[in-house]
Amino acid sequence: MKKAFMILLVIVVAAAGLWFVTHKDRMPTAKTPSTAGQFNKQQYSLSDPASLWVIVNKHRLLQPKDYAPNDLVVPDIPLRLAASSEEMHLRKPAADALQELAAQAQKDGLKLMVASGYRSYQFQISLYNGYVQQQGKATADSQSARPGYSEHQTGLAVDLEPTSRNCEVDPCFGDTPEGKWLAANAWKYGFIVRYQTGKQGTTGYIAEPWHVRYVGKTLAAEVNKQGNPPLEDFFGLGAAPDYH
């Protein structure tokens, strides 16, 4: 009896071993500490102009350069210009998020409005050339994007200001209650303050506390968690201080 039991035990162990060998590749594997919970930076394209994560800077021209979004709408918040104006439009995901942001700001006693949103390729030609004529090329390049290199052309960037128009599109906006609220809370609604103080060597532009860029709540939260680095640094793309 004992001998028969031992033979049966050997058969069972051998069968178990065979099952493990043939099924081990199908079994789920635990993530190692180095990869568990790691943010996926390749989730969306950084080059596709229609991607919520597209990165536009002085080294990254939109392709095609005259790209135009197909889902532009007017956000239901106060506007600097008539709703028919091109600049009062945004892509729908950004517009929806902006409405949430503005509603919460109003609950907190602050009133924000759109100063400038979408700008087409042709609009940017006129705007940029105007700055060049007024200020010279070097100054214009530090404050305004050349056509095809503008975040505004994606329909995902918006300049905001108080409805009082205090510090309208001006560095002092960052010191207003609205500017401080935006800097602290924009990420909760999927926006980041794109051009920050002391980062011109990376982004290519002077600080613009009024300019926010919609990237979606997941990315905005991760950027905020990491201390708000420029997108160039976050994605390891390198600085883009000047045009090639």
Report the domain count for the chain: 1
pLDDT at 244: 87
Structural domain of residue 171, as residue ranges? 44-234
Q: Is residue 32 part of a domain?
A: no
d(CA 181, CA 219) in angstroms, rounded, equals: 20
pLDDT level of residue 209 (50, 70, 90 thresholds): very high
What are 15-25's pLDDT values in tens digits? 444 443 344 33
pLDDT at 5: 44
pLDDT at 37: 73
Q: Is residue 39 part of a domain?
A: no
SS3 at position 192: strand
What are 151-199's pLDDT values in tens digits? 999 999 999 999 999 999 999 999 999 999 999 999 999 999 999 999 9
Virtual CA dihedral for 48, 53, 56, 57, nearest 10 degrees? Answer: -140
- Mean pLDDT score across all residues of the chain: 89
- Report the candidate in 236, 243, 242 with the shortest Cα–Cα distance to residue 55: 236
Q: Is residue 64 part of a domain?
A: yes
The tokens for 60 are: 């990254």
CATH number at residue 196: 3.30.1380.10
Determine the distance from the C-alpha atom of residue 109 to the mean position of all C-alpha atoms in its chain, rounded to a whole number.
Answer: 26
pTM for the model stands at 0.85
Q: Is residue 20 part of a domain?
A: no
Q: Is residue 25 part of a domain?
A: no
- Report the candidate in 150, 143, 148, 234 with the shortest Cα–Cα distance to residue 187: 234
4 vs 25: which has the higher pLDDT: 4
